[in-house]
A and B are shown apart, each in its own frame.
Chain A
Amino acid sequence: MKKFYFVMALLIVASMILTACGTPAATEAPAATDAPAVTEAPAATEAPAATEAPAEVTQEDCVTEEVFCVGVVTDVGKVNDKSFNQSAWEGALKSQEDGVADLVQFIETADAKDYAKNIGTFGDAGFDVIVTVGFALGEATVAAAATYPDISFIGVDQFQAWEFDEDAANDVANVTGLGFPEDQAGFLVGALAAAMSESHKIGAVCGTDVVPPVWRFGEGYKAGAAYADGLNGTTTEVFVVYHSDVGFDKTFTDPEWGAQTATSMMDQGADAIFGCGGLTGNGAITAAAQAGKYAIGVDADQYLTLPEAAPRMLSSAMKLITPGVADLVAAAKDGSIKPGNFTGLAGYAPYHDLESEVPAEVNAMMEELNAALLDGSVTTNVPPVKP
C-alpha cells in the first residue's frame, strides 16, 4: 500500500498547489491580465456571471417558460479553441451578462456522429435557444429545428440556402444562419498593410483555404493590397500562404509552423504579416511582432487577445461573432429574430499603440474604404467560395 499512499499524497499536494495558486489568482490576476480586455472588449468573459444570477438556476428549470436558457453546441473542437467555437460561446455568455439569458451551457462535440445527439440533449431539456457552431452542423441543425419547433436555432457560419418567404415549403422558421463578409475585413487590412509597407512586400499566413472564411480573408487581403496599390501608385508583392500541406486537424493549430512561415517571409523582405487561421495565424502574428514588423490579427481585435504581440499590432480583420451571437439571442428572446441569413459585422480594428505611426492620409483612405465597402460602392470581387 505504501506506493498507493505515496501517489495519493502526491495528488493531494498537487491539488493544494493548484488550489493555493488558484485562490489568490481569482481575485488578483484580473487586474494584471484582463485590465484592457475588461474595459475595451465586451467579448471578454467575466467570472462572476454565474453568481450574479438571481437564484440557483439549473438545467431542470429550463423547461419552464420564465427561465430563458441558451445552449451552445460546438463543432468538433473545444469551447476554448480561441477561435469560432470560443467566440460563439462568449456571445452566449455575453447574453447572460446582459441579463438576456438566465442560463447558458455548452456541449462540446467529440465526433461528427454526435451532432444530433448533442443538439437533442439541449432540445430535450427545454432550452430556448440553441446555438450551433460551424457549417458542418448545418444539416443537423435544420433537422433538429423540425423536431423542436419552439426552440430558436442560431447557426454560426451556416449559410441558409433557402430565402425566407412566408409560404415556401422548405422554410425552416426557427433557424437563423449567422455569416460574415470576411473578404471585406481582409480587403481592409490588405489595403492598410500595402499602404504602410516600406519594403512593398507583405505577407499573410492562413489556415487551410478549404475553409471558405479563411479563403475569403486571404483573397480579400490580396484584393485590398491591389486596390491600395492602385490608389497609391505602388506595386506591392503579396505572399499568401495557406497551411494546406497537413491534415485538416492541424491546419489551425500549428503555431510553430505559422511562426516559421512568417519568419521566412520576413527574411525575404515582408514587413507586415496578416495571421489568419486560428492558432497557426497567431504564431505568425507573434513572430512578426517579435521581429518588430507590423502584425495584423484576425476575427477579434487581437490587440486584446494576444498581449505578446500587442505593441506591434497594426490592426485586425474583425469578424464579430461574439456580439453577433449575443444580438441574435436577444432578438430571439424578444421575438424579433428573423429566419434565414443574418450578416454579422466585419471591419478593421483600431491601431492602438501604432496610432501615431499611421499617417493621416492612410487613415483617411481606410475610413473611406470602410464606408465604400459598406455602401457597396467598392466591392472585393472575391467569390464566397473558392472556385
Chain B
Amino acid sequence: MQTEKPNSLTSQILQSISNASLIPFLAILTAVILGGIIIKIVGGDPFLAYKGLIQGSLGSAKALSETAIWATPYIFAGLAVALAFKGGLFNIGAEGQLAVGAVFSALIGYGLPEWLGYDLPAIIHLPLAIGVGMLMGGIWAGIVGALKAYTGGHEVINTIMMNYIALNTTSFLLNGVMKDPSPNNVIARTPLIAESARISPLFEGLRVHWGFVLALLVAFLIWWLLNKTTLGFEIRTVGLNPDAAQYAGINVKRTIIVTMLLSGMLAGLAGSIEVTGLNYRHELGFSIGYGYDAIAIALLGKSHPLGIVLSSFLFAAMRNGATRMQFLTQLPVDLISMLQALILLFVAADAIVRYIYRIKSKGERVVLTRGWGG
C-alpha cells in the first residue's frame, strides 16, 4: 500500500476514524438528510418526525425496553445473514427460517406438556423449546446448503422459494392442527405456550427479557466462532476462496452446509426467542420483512457482529420510534422502510457516499456473492 500524503489535519482524522464505521455513518447521515427532504416535500415536519423517532425509541425506560425488544430478533437475523456472507453465501431466506423456528418453538412450548400429560420444569422445557426452534430453522436453511453443495442450485433463488414454502406451510399448520382451539378464536395462531417455556423479563414492569441478553451473548459467540476457531477459519476460507479451501483440504461441501445450517439456526433463534420471550405464541401476520431488514443490517454492520448489534439497534429504534413519530405527525410508517432502503443503498454503493464526501477508497473490494456460478 502506498501512503498518500494527507492534505489536511481533518482528513487525517477522518482517515484515522476507522473506515469501517465512517462509511456506514455517512450513509445513515445522508439517508436521514434525504429522508428529511422527502418528509418536507410531502408536507410533513422533518424535525417533529425525527423528534418523535428519538423520543419513541430512546425517550424513556419503556421506550428503550421496546427498542431492545425490536433489536433482539434483528440481532439474531442480522447475524444469520452475516454468517452466511462470511461463508460466501447469500441467505435471503431468514424470513422463512424465522417462521419455522417460531412454529416449532411454539409447538414444543404448548404441545409438549399436552402430549406428555404433565408439566415440565422450566430448566428443561425452555431450552428444549428454543433448541428445537433453532434446530428446525437450521435444517430449513441446511436443505438449501445441501442443494447448493451437491447440485449447485443457487442459494438465492432456493432460499426465496423456501421462504414461500415456509410461509405457506406455517399458514397451513396454524390454520389446521396447530390452531388455537380456544372458543371464539378465529385467527391463525397457536395456543399460548406453557409458563415453563417462557423467558422471564429482565426488569419488573418492562417487556424486555433475557432473550435480549442472549442475543448479545450470541453476537459475541459468533465473533469468537468466526475469528478464533478452526470452524470459523474454514467458513471464512470457503467464503473468500472456495478453490483454495478445497486445495487446503477443507471439505467445501460440508462447510457450505454447516454455514447454512448455522445461519438458519440463528434465524430460527430469532423466531424462537420472539415466541418464548415476548409473544408466548406464534401468530400469522402480515410480514414486515425481517428477512430483508436482516440483509440491510448485515450490510450496514459490515458483517461484523459488533456492527450488527449496533445496526440492529438503529433499525430497532427506527421501527419502534415509528409509533411515536406517527402519533406526532401522522406520517406513514412506510417512511421508515424508505429510510432503511436509502441507508442500504448508500451502504451497498459506498462509492456514492465516497463521492459525496470525497473519501478515498481503500481499493479492496469484498466479494460477497459470486453470480450464478457459485
A and B touch in the complex (CB under 8 A): yes
User: Interface of A with B (CB < 8 Å)?
Assistant: 1, 3-4, 11, 14-15, 18-19, 59, 76-78, 105-108, 110-114, 117-118, 121-122, 125, 135-136, 159, 161, 208, 210-212, 244-249, 385
Assembled-state Cα–Cα distance A264/B269 (Å) = 43
Asked whether A161 lies within 8 Å of B184 as measured between CB atoms, the reply is yes
Total number of residue pairs linking A and B with CB closer than 8 Å? 104
Within the assembled complex, what's the spacing in Å between the Cα atoms of A113 and B167? 19
Interface string of B310-331 (1 = CB under 8 A from A): 0000000001101110111010
- Nearest-CB distance from A45 to chain B (Å)? 13
User: Are A113 and B333 in contact (CB-based, < 8 A)?
Assistant: no
Given contacts A113-B274, A159-B184, contact A108 B41 (CB under 8 A): no
Which residues on B sit within 8 Å (CB–CB) of A113?
A: 69-70, 274, 278-279
A18: B residues at CB distance < 8 A: 41-42
A112 touching B285 in the complex, CB below 8 Å, given contacts A117-B323, A121-B327, A246-B168: yes
On chain A, the residues within 8 Å of B61 by CB distance are: none
Q: Which of B37, B175, B186, B330 contacts A11 (CB 8 A)?
A: B37
| A321-B287 Cα distance, complex, nearest whole Å | 25
Q: How far is the CA of A107 from the CA of B330 in the complex (A)?
A: 8
**Across the interface, which residues of A come within 8 angstroms of B168, CB to CB?**
245-247
Residues of A within 8 A of B40 (CB): 15
Instruction: Check A249–B167 contact: CB distance below 8 A.
Output: yes
**Complex Cα spacing A244 to B176, Å:** 12
Most buried by A among B278, B326, B328, B358: B326
Give Cα A246 to B66, complex, Å: 31
Q: Are A3 and B327 in contact (CB under 8 A)?
A: no
Beyond known contacts A14-B41, A136-B189, A247-B170: 19 more, CB 8 A cutoff: A1-B356, A15-B37, A15-B40, A76-B285, A105-B327, A106-B326, A107-B323, A111-B285, A113-B278, A114-B66, A117-B66, A117-B320, A136-B283, A210-B188, A211-B186, A246-B171, A247-B167, A248-B171, A249-B287
B372 on interface, CB distance cutoff 8 Å = no
Chain B residues in contact with chain A, CB under 8 A? Answer: 34, 37-38, 40-42, 66, 69-70, 164, 167-168, 170-171, 175, 183-184, 186-189, 274, 278-279, 283-288, 319-320, 322-324, 326-328, 330, 332-334, 336, 352, 355-356, 358
9 closest Cβ pairs, A-B complex:
A247-B167, A15-B41, A212-B186, A248-B284, A76-B286, A210-B175, A249-B286, A4-B356, A76-B285
In the assembled complex, which residues on chain A have CB atoms less than 8 Å from the CB atom of B330? 105-106
List 16 interface pairs A-B (beta carbons < 8 Å), by A numbering. A1-B358, A11-B37, A11-B41, A14-B41, A59-B328, A105-B327, A107-B323, A111-B285, A111-B319, A113-B279, A118-B323, A135-B186, A210-B188, A247-B168, A248-B188, A385-B186
Closest to A248 in B: B284
Q: How far is the CA of A59 from the CA of B66 in the complex (A)?
A: 22
Give min CB distance, B224 to chain A, whole Å: 30
Q: Which of B167, B187, B336, B352 contacts A136 (CB 8 A)?
A: B187
Q: How far is the CA of A43 from the CA of B282 in the complex (A)?
A: 35
A residues less than 8 Å from B356 (CB atoms): 1, 3-4
With a cutoff of 8 Å between Cβ atoms, the chain B residues found around residue A78 in the complex are 332, 334
Among B171, B188, B288, B324, which residue has its beta carbon within 8 angstroms of that of A110? B288
Q: Is the CB of A136 within 8 A of B285?
A: yes
**Chain A residues near B66 (CB, 8 Å)?**
114, 117
Question: How many angstroms between the C-alpha atoms of A212 and B274 in the bound complex?
Answer: 27
Please, how many angstroms separate the alpha-carbon atoms of A136 and B38 in the complex? 33
| Distance A283 CA – B183 CA, assembled complex (angstroms) | 34
**Residues on A with beta carbons closer than 8 Å to the beta carbon of B327:** 59, 105, 107, 121-122, 125
Report the nearest A residue to B167, measured CB to CB.
A247
Asked if B186 and A121 make an inter-chain contact with CB atoms under 8 angstroms apart, the answer reads no
Which of A14, A245, A247 has the most B CB atoms < 10 Å from its CB? Answer: A247
Is B283 a contact of A112 with CB atoms below 8 Å?
yes
Question: How many angstroms from the CA of A110 to the CA of B168 in the assembled complex?
Answer: 21
Is B164 a contact of A247 with CB atoms below 8 Å?
Answer: yes
Q: Which residue of B lies closest to A5 (CB)?
A: B356
Across the two chains, which residue of chain A brings its CB closest to B69? A113
Bound complex: CA of A212 vs CA of B186, how far in Å?
A: 6
Give chain A residues whose Cβ lies under 8 Å from the Cβ of B283.
112, 136
The chain B residue sitting closest to A246, CB to CB, is: B168
What residue of chain A has the Cβ atom nearest to residue B163's Cβ? A247
